[in-house]
Amino acid sequence: MGLSYKVRLILVCIGIFVMVVLGFFFKTLLIPDSFGVYGPFRADAIDEIVEIPIRHGTNDSCFKCHPYEAKIHKAGLHKTISCEFCHGTYADHVADGKKTGVLPVKTGEQITTLCLRCHNTEIKARSEKVIKTVAMPDHLRDQHVKLSHNCSQCHNVHAPLKYINRAKQITGLMEKGQ
């Protein structure tokens, strides 16, 4: 009431100014920098996701330091299987070109369990065209061995038919080079 028109006008102007300043302040406070570059999200998040370090190398990443396994693996029917599935990741084993960690190596019974993950006939969901399967213990009975045999005693884990083909060559059941 007591305020003159001019004072009120100035007060209103100051009010608007304060609102604008506060508005900008909260806007910068609440909206991250890169928001809205590509759309209603933080564009930097994309780069942050790209930066997540990878943990799996590829089979190629193992070959350099393991030439012996590499040669066998590449020549055999298991060439499509990942070393890292059976052994563990590159990141757990190598950093900056040096071995930093020990990867577990499966033995005995564990190997049979591993093989049967993929080769078990019992599951009845595996197309013959995709993978050959065996029924246990019939497979061992067919070979006339004790049922306590592990798969790796006859099959090289890295090239499953390596020994078997060689045995066949020696016994003349198979032409050389087949």
Chain positions contacting other proteins, by CB under 8 A? 32, 35, 38-42, 45-46, 48-58, 60-61, 64, 78, 80-82, 84-85, 88-90, 92, 94-97, 113, 116-118, 120, 122-127, 130-131
Residues 85, 58: Cα–Cα separation, whole Å: 10
Say which entry of other proteins, ligand HEC, none residue 66 contacts (CB below 5 to 8 A, set by partner kind). Answer: ligand HEC
Nearer to ligand HEC, 8 or 141 (CB): 141
Residues 163, 83: Cα–Cα separation, whole Å: 20
What is the 3-state secondary structure of 73-138?
A: HHHCCCCCCCHHHHHCCHHHCEECCEECCCCCCCCHHHHHHHHHHHHEHHHCCCCCCCCCCECCCH
Nearer to other proteins, 51 or 175 (CB): 51
Say which entry of ligand HEC, other proteins, none residue 159 contacts (CB below 5 to 8 A, set by partner kind). Answer: none
How many residues belong to the site for ligand HEC (CB under 6 A)?
58
